[in-house]
Amino acid sequence: MQQRTRPGGRGTPTRASGPRGAAGRAGGGRAPARPTVARRSVSSGGAAMRTRAPQPRRFTSRAVVLGLLLSVLLLAYAYPVRVYLAQQAEISALEQSQERQTVKIAEMAERAAKWNDNEYVISQARQRLNMVLPGEKSIVVIDPARGQQTDPAAIPGTEKSARPWYGKLWSSVEAAD
């Protein structure tokens, strides 16, 4: 019969040769192939001390490198994205301004087109300048609720003079010579 060996084909045989029973155990029982292991000491309480199993790392080196790479990319893209967003905001503000100016230009063009109409020019001349066409009579209505005619000399804070205006003018010309 062939003897068994440990895995890998090395070492001493795992069983002693020979039949089982008393004759096989005559050599002391087990073969001295395994080294003896030192026993753990027992604590004073009588219970065996437990050792903790090694905890796995939270992050592997690959995860750390990936995290660093992502943070570097984030920092590298932060400034260009900020510039892009600022430019988009500026573009939208300029588009709104352009729309307002387009509306204002349309209103001004409409107002300018009104001045090409003779009736509009005549009505504006009557309202703003109190002008009338030849042959018409101008009538100015004074509102009595606005008050009475006031004398400029009666206005407080003005200088009251007995001399007429041309007298003041002549005296200032004489004083300048």
- Predicted confidence at residue 24, as pLDDT, reads 47
Q: Residue 92 in contact with residue 86, Cβ under 8 Å? A: no
- Predicted confidence at residue 54, as pLDDT, reads 79
Q: Is 2 exposed, middle or buried (0-12, 13-18, 19+ CB in 10 A)?
A: exposed
How does pLDDT run across 35-70, given as a tens digit for each residue? 666 665 555 666 677 888 877 778 788 999 999 999
DSSP H or E run through 165? helix 165-176
How does pLDDT run across 81-103, given as a tens digit for each residue? 999 999 999 999 999 999 999 99
> Which of 143, 163, 160, 142 has its CA nearest to residue 151?
160
Amino acid (1-letter code) at residue 43:
S
How does pLDDT run across 102-160, given as a tens digit for each residue? 999 999 999 999 999 999 999 999 888 889 999 988 888 887 777 665 665 666 666 66
